[in-house]
Amino acid sequence: MTRLSHDHAVGPVGHLTEVAGAVVEVIESCHTMWHFDHEKSAFCRVAKAGPAPDLTDEGLWHPFERLEVDEETGSFAVVLDPAGMRRLRSWQHVDPCRLCGAGRDASTGELELTSPRRTS
């Protein structure tokens, strides 16, 4: 039996999801989920810590010119104007993450949970 083990992680850049019928690319950085609607050239930043906003609210979306991804370093830039002068730069969060250390901490925590120590 062969199962696809990466059903929603397509490629090194982001994964695709659907918002109100539109296909949206999602790139995860350490603290933010970046949503890109390439058809409308609009993007939306969602903080991972806060409550999930209603992405069908068009007020949350901002226009962008293009998305530049450096697959080697995992950095990406959202270019906001045609000349490329205004851009937002971030880095993809991977697991384990060398930027925020998330994956390592999580796996350590899991190990401790599966081998509980009696303290009394």
Interface residues with Zn ion (CB under 5 A) are 30, 93, 97, 99-100, 102
Indicate the helix (H) or strand (E) that contains 105.
helix 102-114
Q: For Zn ion, which is the closer residue by CB, 42 or 99?
A: 99
Whether 81 contacts 66, CB under 8 Å: no
The beta strands (E) that lie in 29-100 are given as 32-37, 42-47, 62-63, 66-70, 75-79, 87-91
Min CB(60)–Zn ion separation in Å: 23
Min CB(30)–Zn ion separation in Å: 3
Nearest residue to Zn ion on Cβ basis: 97
Q: For Zn ion, which is the closer residue by CB, 21 or 50?
A: 50
Min CB(58)–Zn ion separation in Å: 29
Any idea what the Cα angle at residue 39 is, between residues 89 and 34, rounded to 5°?
Answer: 30
